[in-house]
Every structure is written in C-alpha cells, then in structure tokens.
C-alpha cells in the first residue's frame, strides 16, 4: 500500500500536473484580468411620474438595476427651464434654470423632487451619477430630457415609461415586467392594474391607440409604487408581408379607464409576436466561460493522461515501475486517481476564479447551485475526455498515434463539434426542411462529446445560448439535467471499465 501511496503522491505532485494547473490558472487569470478594466454591464435605469398639487410639481423617480431591485446612492440632478420651441441656427443660449437640485436615491431607490412653480409646461432634464461604482453604465432615462406638465386634481403623469422589462435574475434569460406608478396626489395606486393586447393590421391602417375592442390578457393588480409582474405575452396570428403586429400595454383603473398606454409594432413575421424582454447580463459571461472550458478542460485532461500514462506505457518506461511490487491494475488505478485529483483541483480553482470575476463585474455572486453545476460539468468533461485518452493508450502501438488522435478529438469535440454536426444536418437536408429539428439534433449530439458538457450545463442553467444552441433547443430535444448526468456517468464509468478490462487482459 505504501508503494501505491508513493506513486499517487508522486503523480499528483509531478511536473505534468503542476504544469497543467499553472496553464489553467494563467489562462483564466489572463482572461478575467480584463474584468477590472472593463466597463460594468450593470445597467441602472429609472421609471416614475409627476403630479401637480399644492402649488408645486412633485417628481417621483425610482432607480432600479437590471432585475428591478432598488438602487440606493444614485445622485440624480433635475434642471427645469421654461419651454422653448426655438429652431433658429445657431441655437439660442439655454434659458436660465428655474429649478436646479441634486438628490440621492434612498434605500427603496426613490428620488422625490418638489418643484415650486406655477401651473404650466416646463422642460426638465435629468442627469445622474453613481459614485458607488464609477464604471457603471447609466442607461435608460436617467440621462435625458422630458416635460413637466400640470394636470388638474393631482392626476399622475408619466415622466419616464412606467412599464419596463427587467431580468428575472442576473444569470438567467427570462424577464418580467416592472410597473412604477402612483395614484392621485402621489397616493398608492389602489385598484389600478396592467393589461396587454395585440392586433395584426395592414400597413395603411392606423395602429390601435388602446386595447378598446381587442382581447386583453387578464388584469394584474398593482400592489404599490413598484410592482414586479410576470412578463405578459400576446400570441398573434401569422403576420402577412403587408402587415404589422402591434402590441399594447396599458395601466387601467378599477373602472377600466386607461391611465397609460405604450405601443410597440413589429414587421412581418411568421412567428407569434411576444412582448420584448430584457435578459440579465450573466448569461453572456457564462456562455463565454463555457466556450473557453470546452477546449481548456479537454486539453488539461489529455496532457495529464498522455504524459503520466499513455507515453510511458507505449515507450516501455512504465515497465520499469512494474519492477516494484505493483500490478498493472494498481498502477492504472493510481494514475487514474491522480488524474481525477488534479482535474478536481483545477476545476475548483477555475470555477471559483470565475465566480470572483463575475462578482467584481456584476456585484452579484454566482448562485451556489450554479457553482456546483459548473464544477460538475468541468469534472465530467475532463474525466470523460481523459477516459478516451486512457483507452487510446491501449489501442495504439506508439505514442504518436495517441498524440494524433488526442489532438484531432480535442479540436473536433471542443471547437468544431457543433459546426460539423450542423453541416451533416445541412447535407442531409434537415436544415432546409426544419431548422428547429436541426438545432435539436446539434443539442442531442453534444452528449456524445464530453468537452461540450460545460456548454450544455450553462445553457440549461441560464436558459440562454452557447454556440447558438439554447434552452429551447435542449427542451425540444429532450436534453434535461437527468440526461446530462446520465451521459456524464456513461462516459466516465464506461471508459474506466473498458480501460480496466483492457489492462487486466493485456498480454
């Protein structure tokens, strides 16, 4: 037993294993070092309304992030000037400011201005800074111009769109609707709700101004100034070449009166139209991470097995080790275990480093379930490809054959797999007949290539796309988490059993 322990310790600490760990660490360190100099992808936006009461305009804004959560500490500057319609050139100097004040959003994300001006119409300009994170992109309507217009009876008037789509989470593609609204004189919007409708009309027909006469989705009640709602979808009939699809979102009160309406239109399309969504910033990072892993983990696994097992066995140097009181089976098991330990350590370091990187970029750590799943995909991809290399060591008579096969499979399974399968589908006529079926074929085929496991797992976790294959393709192809686990176990256990059988029966 001491001999095997010595062999295991030696292999884990060998120059090959250390070199693999260094390559993994340096590659990822260089890849994610750019995060610290990159501009943040956390977009800050705002919605709100204004109403006129007691001799003043009351401007209420709520600052939110990409998932609709309130953001505190955002400095918002409001400048109000007389309305001007001057179009002369050169333009006249800007009129003097009637109001100029800067406030900071509170813990609920709210910024409330009281503008003491007589009733009328005024130009208003918003500027904002976010000193807590100076690299954060300030998007949406936090930087722009609008109009203050007094309405009788303290009726709220939207300053910025009170209905915006936000992501369900930082690391998923699905979205939801954020409604920012208030009742008369800034009261809570009791009895107000949101409905959606759609219509398909010819180009020369005027678009619908509201949902009157159209079928609407069931109303969803507003529960306060900020309400997160499921994203309403409106399925429409096929749109002809000379038609447009219109989608409308409305805020209505208890009597059905329309308080606000927003309209979107889409060009001709054979697919049902759906209200546009806003995905979180994380899926793109996870997709890029999975694409990098496909090559990296397969390369690491191949190097470990080739230098610790395949090359020594085929060059005859492993026979010198067998002079000691060890068996061929024991030697294989020891070096297989050493490979698994090194890959597990590299996988843990890789995923943790990625977690640190995205936390710095998005200020949101990966969910624990994501960390575990990504680590599992790394380990499954590495051990599956390592198993292929172990088998190749018993299928060739020279290390050159193993090297050629390993490099070829490395490139095919990691970089060109989806392209090659898509080409096969194309020449088989599947792509022309049914593009969806071709995408589903590519999704199923990824189970046959261990380096693709990180891409599959990333797609399933985020509901997004990697290499153009996303959760919709996986769902249509029947590729679920259970199938991924079964395929990973088949690759790991299958190659291990076959290699052990070949070692045991070797002449």
Lowest mean pLDDT across 1-10, 105-114, 219-228: 1-10
Higher-confidence residue of 92 and 66: namely 66
Please name the residues in contact with 371: beta carbons below 8 A apart, sequence gap of 6 or more. Answer: 351, 352, 355
Written as six digits, the tokens of 144 are 């722009």
Beta bridge partners of 128: 76
Q: For the segment 123-132, what is each residue's pLDDT rounded down to a tens digit?
A: 888 887 665 4
CA angle 373, 379, 381 (to 5 degrees): 100
The predicted pLDDT at position 272 comes to 43
Q: How many Å apart are CA 52 and CA 113, to the nearest integer? A: 12
Whether the per-residue pLDDT at 136 is higher than 50: the answer is: no
Please name the residues in contact with 24: beta carbons below 8 A apart, sequence gap of 6 or more. Answer: 296, 300, 346, 349, 350
Written as six digits, the tokens of 44 are 């800050």
Q: For the segment 330-364, what is each residue's pLDDT rounded down to a tens digit?
A: 888 888 988 888 889 888 888 888 888 788 777 78
Parse the chain into domains and list their residue ranges.
2-33+281-504, 182-279
Read off φ and ψ for residue 313, nearest 5 degrees. -65, -45
Q: How many Å apart are CA 47 and CA 244, to the nearest integer? A: 28
Average pLDDT, the chain: 81
The predicted pLDDT at position 368 comes to 92
352 exposure class (CB count in 10 Å sphere: 0-12, 13-18, 19+): middle
* Mean pLDDT within 469-477: 76
Closest of 303, 297, 298, 305 to residue 332, by C-alpha: 305
Q: For the segment 184-230, what is each residue's pLDDT rounded down to a tens digit?
A: 888 989 899 999 988 888 888 888 888 988 888 899 999 999 999 88
Query: Angle 399-414/282-305 helices, nearest 10 degrees?
Result: 170
């Amino acid at each position: 037993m001491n001999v095997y322990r010595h062999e295991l310790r030696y292999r884990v600490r060998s120059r090959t294993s250390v070199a693999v760990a260094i390559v993994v660490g340096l590659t990822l360190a260089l890849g994610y070092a750019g995060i610290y100099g990159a501009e943040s992808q956390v977009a800050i936006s705002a919605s709100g309304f204004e109403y006129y009461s007691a001799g003043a305009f009351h401007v209420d804004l709520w600052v939110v992030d990409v998932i609709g959560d309130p953001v505190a500490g955002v400095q918002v500057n409001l400048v109000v000037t007389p309305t001007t319609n001057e179009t002369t050139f050169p333009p006249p100097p800007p009129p003097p400011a009637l109001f100029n004040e800067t406030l900071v959003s509170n813990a609920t994300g709210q910024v409330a201005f009281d503008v003491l001006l007589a009733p009328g119409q005024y130009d208003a300009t918003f500027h904002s800074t976010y000193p807590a994170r100076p690299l954060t992109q300030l998007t949406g309507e936090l930087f722009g111009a609008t109009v203050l217009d007094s309405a009788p009876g303290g009726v709220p008037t939207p300053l910025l769109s009170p209905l915006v789509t936000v992501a369900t989470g930082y690391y998923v593609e699905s979205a939801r609707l954020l409604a920012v609204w208030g009742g008369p004189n800034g009261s809570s919007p009791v009895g107000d709700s949101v409905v959606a409708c759609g219509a398909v009309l010819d180009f020369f027909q005027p678009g619908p101004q509201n949902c009157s006469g159209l079928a609407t989705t069931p109303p969803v009640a507003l529960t306060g100034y900020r309400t997160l709602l499921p994203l309403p979808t409106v399925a429409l009939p096929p749109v002809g070449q000379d038609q447009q699809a219109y989608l409308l979102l409305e805020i209505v009160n208890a009597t059905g009166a329309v308080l606000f309406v927003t309209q979107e239109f889409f060009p001709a399309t054979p697919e049902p139209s759906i209200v546009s969504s806003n995905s979180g910033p994380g899926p793109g990072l996870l997709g890029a991470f999975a694409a990098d892993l496909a090559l990296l983990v397969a390369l690491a696994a191949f190097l470990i097995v080739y230098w610790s097992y395949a090359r020594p066995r085929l060059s005859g140097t492993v026979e010198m080790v067998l002079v000691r009181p060890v068996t061929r089976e024991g030697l294989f098991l020891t070096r297989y275990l050493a490979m698994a330990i090194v890959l597990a350590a590299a996988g843990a370091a890789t995923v943790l480093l990625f977690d640190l990187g995205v936390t710095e970029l998005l200020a949101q750590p990966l969910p624990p379930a994501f960390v575990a799943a990504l680590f599992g995909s790394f380990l499954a991809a590495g051990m599956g490809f390592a198993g292929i290399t172990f088998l190749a060591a018993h299928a060739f008579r020279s290390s050159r054959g193993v090297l050629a096969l390993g490099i070829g499979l490395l490139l095919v399974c990691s970089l060109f797999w989806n392209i090659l399968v898509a080409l096969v589908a194309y020449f088989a006529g599947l792509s022309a007949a049914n593009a969806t079926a071709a995408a589903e074929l590519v999704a199923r085929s990824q189970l046959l290539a261990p380096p693709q496991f990180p891409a599959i797992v990333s797609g399933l976790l985020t509901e997004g796309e990697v290499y153009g294959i996303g959760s919709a393709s996986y769902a249509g192809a029947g590729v679920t988490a259970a199938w991924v686990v079964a395929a990973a176990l088949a690759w790991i256990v299958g190659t291990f059993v076959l290699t052990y059988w070949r070692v045991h029966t070797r002449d």
